[in-house]
C-alpha cells in the first residue's frame, strides 16, 4: 500500500529528482519465529490483536544502524496530536524522520514510551492502519521540500499556508452548462483579480470554517474585507 502511494505524483517526482529519500521497512523481515508473527493476543483478554514490540524496535534499530539516528520517530495512532500544516512545516525542516505504522487493534504501548518521540493522528475517523496516514504525512511534507513542486508559488498560495480556504478557480470555457465565469477574472485587471480572490477566500472561510479565521493572520486589507463581508451578510 505504501510503495504504491510513493510511486505516484509529487512524492515519486521528488524521489526521482533526488530531493526525497523514502524507504519502506516490512516488519515481517524483523521477526524471528517460523510464522513471522508481528502481532499477538492482548494481555487482559478481549477481541483483536496487538502489534508485538520486538519487530518494531528491531526495525527502528536497523534504521539507526543503516541510515543514522532519525530526528523524529513518529508513531501514527488515533491517540496522537493532530497533524496540521504547522506540523508539516516543522517536519519538512528535519533531515530524517521515521514513521511507525500500526495495524490490528493497536501497538504494544512500550513502543510509544521507549521508541517513539512523537505520536500523531491525521484526523478523527476510524482507519485500519497507519499506512495511509504515513502517506498523507509524506505527501504534505514532500511538497514543502524546495524543488519538489515545480512552481514554488503554488506552495506559497496553498490554502492552509495562508490559514484560509482557497478562492474558487475557473478555466475555459467561459460558459459551461449555462454558468459563466465571474467577469473580473476575464477583465485582465490584475489588482482587481487579486482583491476578488482574497475576498472570496475570506468569505468562504467565514461561511465554511469560521474557526480558521480566529487563527488566520489577516492583514489590514483582509480585516477590512472581513468587516465588509459581515456587513453584506447583515446581522450574524
Among residues 123, 150, 168, 182, the one that binds ligand JBZ under rule CB under 6 A: 123
Among residues 102, 108, 135, 225, the one that binds ligand JBZ under rule CB under 6 A: 102
Among residues 27, 73, 76, 206, the one that binds ligand JBZ under rule CB under 6 A: 76
**Cis ω on the peptide bond leading into residue 173 (within 30° of 0)?**
yes
The residue among 116 and 201 lying less far from ligand JBZ, judged by its C-beta, is 116
Of the listed pieces 38-46, 100-108, 111-119, 167-175, which binds ligand JBZ according to CB under 6 A? 100-108
Q: How far is the CB of 72 from ligand JBZ (least distance, A)?
A: 16
| Residues annotated catalytic, as ranges | 78, 105, 143, 158
The residue among 49 and 155 lying less far from ligand JBZ, judged by its C-beta, is 49
Q: Give the whole-angstrom CA distance, residue 207 versus residue 58.
A: 49
Does position 127 bind ligand JBZ by CB under 6 A?
Answer: yes
Smallest CA-to-CA distance from 123 within 133, 135, 110, 112 is with 133
Q: How far is the CB of 104 from ligand JBZ (least distance, A)?
A: 6
Smallest CA-to-CA distance from 141 within 4, 6, 1 is with 6
Smallest CA-to-CA distance from 197 within 152, 159, 227 is with 159
| Site size for ligand JBZ (CB under 6 A) | 14
Among residues 14, 55, 133, 222, the one that binds ligand JBZ under rule CB under 6 A: 133
Tell me which residue has its CB nearest to ligand JBZ: 102
Q: Give the whole-angstrom CA distance, residue 153 versus residue 158.
A: 9
Cβ(52)–Cβ(37) under 8 Å?
Answer: yes
Going through the chain in order, the beta strands assigned E by DSSP cover 39-40, 50-51, 72-82, 97-101, 106-107, 118-121, 175-176, 179-180
Does position 129 bind ligand JBZ by CB under 6 A?
Answer: yes
Name the residue with cell 495512532.
77
Smallest CA-to-CA distance from 201 within 227, 230, 165, 169 is with 165
Q: How far is the CB of 45 from ligand JBZ (least distance, A)?
A: 19
Q: Give the whole-angstrom CA distance, residue 60 versus residue 70.
A: 9
Of the listed pieces 62-70, 129-137, 200-208, 225-233, which binds ligand JBZ according to CB under 6 A? 129-137
Among residues 130, 149, 201, 202, the one that binds ligand JBZ under rule CB under 6 A: 130
Give the DSSP H/E element, type plus range, for residue 207. helix 190-208
The residues of the shown chain that bind ligand JBZ, judged by CB under 6 A, are 76-78, 102-104, 106, 121-123, 127, 129-130, 133
Amino acid at each position: 500500500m505504501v510503495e504504491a502511494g510513493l510511486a505516484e505524483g509529487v512524492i515519486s517526482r521528488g524521489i526521482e529528482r533526488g530531493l526525497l529519500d523514502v524507504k519502506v521497512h516490512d516488519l515481517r523481515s524483523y521477526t524471528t519465529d517460523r510464522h513471522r508473527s508481528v502481532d499477538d493476543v492482548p494481555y487482559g483478554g478481549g477481541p483483536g490483536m496487538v502489534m508485538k514490540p520486538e519487530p518494531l524496535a528491531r526495525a527502528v534499530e536497523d534504521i539507526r544502524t543503516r541510515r543514522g539516528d532519525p530526528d523524529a520517530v513518529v508513531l501514527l495512532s488515533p491517540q496522537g496530536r493532530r497533524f496540521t500544516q504547522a506540523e508539516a512545516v516543522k517536519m519538512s525542516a528535519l533531515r530524517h524522520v521515521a514513521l511507525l505504522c500500526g495495524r490490528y487493534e493497536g501497538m504494544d504501548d512500550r513502543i510509544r514510551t521507549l521508541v517513539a518521540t512523537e505520536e500523531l493522528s491525521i484526523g478523527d475517523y476510524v482507519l485500519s492502519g497507519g499506512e495511509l496516514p504515513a502517506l498523507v504525512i509524506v505527501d504534505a511534507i514532500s511538497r514543502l521540500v524546495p524543488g519538489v513542486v515545480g512552481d514554488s508559488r503554488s506552495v506559497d498560495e496553498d490554502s492552509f499556508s495562508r490559514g484560509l480556504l482557497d478562492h474558487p478557480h475557473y478555466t475555459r470555457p467561459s460558459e459551461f452548462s449555462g454558468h459563466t465565469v465571474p467577469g473580473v477574472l476575464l477583465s485582465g485587471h490584475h489588482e482587481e483579480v487579486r482583491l476578488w480572490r482574497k475576498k472570496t477566500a475570506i468569505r468562504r472561510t467565514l461561511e465554511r470554517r469560521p474557526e480558521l479565521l480566529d487563527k488566520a493572520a489577516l492583514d489590514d486589507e483582509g480585516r477590512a474585507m472581513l468587516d465588509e463581508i459581515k456587513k453584506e451578510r447583515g446581522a450574524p
